Amino acid sequence: MFTEPRSATHTVVAPSIECAVPKLFPTLKRIVIRPYVLLAVVMIAFSITSPAAVDTPADTASQSAKTGSSDTTRVSGRQETEPGHGSSLSLTVTGASDYRFRGVSLSDRRPVAQGSLDFQTALIGGVTGNIGLWYSTVRIDANDLVTPTGGQSVPQSKREQGVYYGLSGPLAGGFHWAAQIENYVYPGFHELNHDEYRLALSRGFNGLPLLHAVEVAQTRFKTANPGGGGHYLEVNLHLKPAAKWDLIGHVGQSQFDNHVLGGQDYVDRSLTLSREFDAYKVEMVAVATNTRQFGRLGDSGLLVRISRSF
């Protein structure tokens, strides 16, 4: 995800992203008082008064941008806390042949190392709260996005750091909701820093032999440009063909405001086949997009991820 840089010394051939606050903890403090907290409180109240129709939350294809089920996600292997079952703290380390975010490679189609630390706790009314930290190596070079002029140097970033926190809970009829706030920073390339706010609705199908869950999610990301930002709408289908095997289909559409990312909306698709081996998880992901604005970074590809949870 990239937006136009403010500087007039670059000729934009592909976009960049800007965020109002490039530092992690000031952004975290600023987010806490936003209206999304009020929305979360309302959702908690609604879930308390709504009977749950399933025993556990649906293990959806991408519960958040962090759960690692499709190429749109960042953290792989996060453990879920069942309602009323206390708290959990999990550490996950991942090695991947490529890092794709919404179909676009953030690692120049090269291998990456990733890690996440996630704390989850059961709250009242079947609601689960979580907070986590995320880290990944990246290879983001503005030369891939802009054409420098006048001898100006262009920024680069070799790592992505994030913090995320959210709430989830059951609804009537077997549905499950989730709300999450996320912030990402890219040291050396602050124009890419951004916040995301995610709402998801999923439906579990525990009684069916193959169909496990269907999820629809809407993400809003904000930039420093007045009115700039965008939306990401995704639909995920989660199948369980056999014990410890998962097959996840994903379709997502990126929509941009006020010419962010050049105003070129695009669609990404992925198919993920994963197998669990005790604390390990192996995933093979086929990914494709319908855009050429990112050059080879958005080309179709096949990647492999291996994760270890502690």
Q: The domain spanning residue 255 has which CATH number? A: 2.40.160.40
* Domain ranges, residue 51: 10-309
Q: Does 2 reside within a domain?
A: no
DSSP 7: -
What dihedral angle (degrees, nearest 10) is formed by the CA atoms of 7, 10, 12, 15? -50
Q: How many residues does the chain have?
A: 310
What is the rounded distance in angstroms from the CA atom of residue 88 to the CA atom of residue 254? 33
| AA letter at 54 | V
Task: Centre a 10 Å sphere on the Cβ of residue 277 and count the other Cβ atoms it contains.
Answer: 10
pLDDT at 26: 40
Q: Does 35 reside within a domain?
A: yes
pLDDT at 280: 96
Provide the number of structural domains found in the chain: 1
Those residues of the chain that have pLDDT short of 50 are 1-72, 75-81, 83-84, 146-151
pLDDT at 128: 96
Contacts for 218 with CB less than 8 Å, ≥ 6 apart: 198, 199, 200, 231, 232, 233
pLDDT at 225: 54
Model confidence over 5-63: pLDDT tens digits? 333 333 223 333 333 333 333 433 343 334 444 444 444 444 444 433 333 433 443 33
pLDDT at 223: 64
> Is residue 273 a contact partner of residue 283, using CB atoms and an 8 Å limit?
yes
pLDDT at 140: 87
pLDDT at 168: 96
pLDDT at 15: 33
